[in-house]
Amino acid sequence: MSGKVAARDIVEGVLERTKKAEPFNPIATLDAEGARAAADALDARRKGGGSFGALAGVPVSAKDLILTKGLRTAFASITMKDNVPSMDAEAIAQWRAADAVLFAKTTTPEFGHKVLTDSPLHGITRNPWNREHTSGGSSGGAAVSVALGLGPIAMSTDGAGSGRIPAACCGVYGLKATLGRVPHEVPPDQFGQLTYLGVMARHPTDLGAGLASMSGSHPNDPWTLAIGREPFAWPDKSGGHPIAGKRITVIRRMTGGYLDPDTEARLDAALALLDKQGAKIKEMDGREIDWKLDVARIILRANQIERFADILKN
């Protein structure tokens, strides 16, 4: 923290923006007082000459599927509307340790079960560009929040596109990191431990900052031990470009033939840049792949029944 702007002033600015964002409904639970208290503690530490983490004073939000100590995590379900966890998910704990200021939980469909963001508990989350359009899902609230300037980064989840789909719908960046890069020690989940914690932002640099501060290993997630104990960090600027020699598989189309011309032009430009930097690019036609969607749906529903059977009995 440079001291040019007080953390409390930043938080007050974000809280004011949340009022303007209400017609889009991206917030599941707002923690105004908790955010103010965290900001005041940071300002007091600065005056005392203390040191700070990499996200000091940065207002952040987290999807309503991610455990947050002392702050309601309802999974967008009426059955869990009074659930207040006694612990943070490790990724949240790491953001707090980096001195980020958690101000809200963002909306999701009930238990994150679909690619539209609406629920009986929180209602419908609207697209930030046009309220008649969808925000996507299931991390729709996270995407809308960063698109509307409610903090530069938001923590999302992604099992089958839950981060990338709303990012595309809302015009922001959504990152699903490599398995094990971000600790996710609280499954089982409805995707059979295939859900990842991710980051959303309006700028790639902010994605990197969020990822770097949530990528430490955790003993309850063996995948983080497999990938190594060093958190993600931007490559050293000295030497060759970090993308040189990396293998990149590009799938332009999945099961359908249409791709927006402007999107494809931007994709071509990005690939040209990556090729110039020495990446090894391979194109694959997704329409020639049997994605086993029917099998995937069966596995998904079976996992949901296993997880939610007790709730369905009530």
| Residues identified as active-site | 63, 138, 162
Show the tokens assigned to 123: 């209602």
For residue 77, what are the contacts with CB-CB under 8 A and spacing of at least 6?
Answer: 110, 111, 119, 120, 121, 311
Q: What residues does 198 pair with on adjacent strands?
A: 156
- Tell me how far apart the alpha carbons of residues 309 and 5 are, in angstroms, rounded to a whole number: 50
Which DSSP helix (H) or strand (E) runs through 183? none
| Amino acid making up residue 4 | K
Which DSSP helix (H) or strand (E) runs through 74? none
Least Cα distance to 204 among 175, 166, 244 occurs for 175
* Angle 68-209-113 from CA coordinates, rounded to 5°: 45
- DSSP string spanning 204-228? HHHHHHHHHTS---BTTBHHHHHH-
Q: Exposed, middle or buried: residue 118 (CB in 10 Å: 0-12, 13-18, 19+)?
A: buried
- DSSP string spanning 7-72? HHHHHHHHHHHHHHTGGG--EEEE-HHHHHHHHHHHHHHHHTT----TTTT-EEEEETTS--TTS-
Q: What residues does 61 pair with on adjacent strands?
A: 104, 154
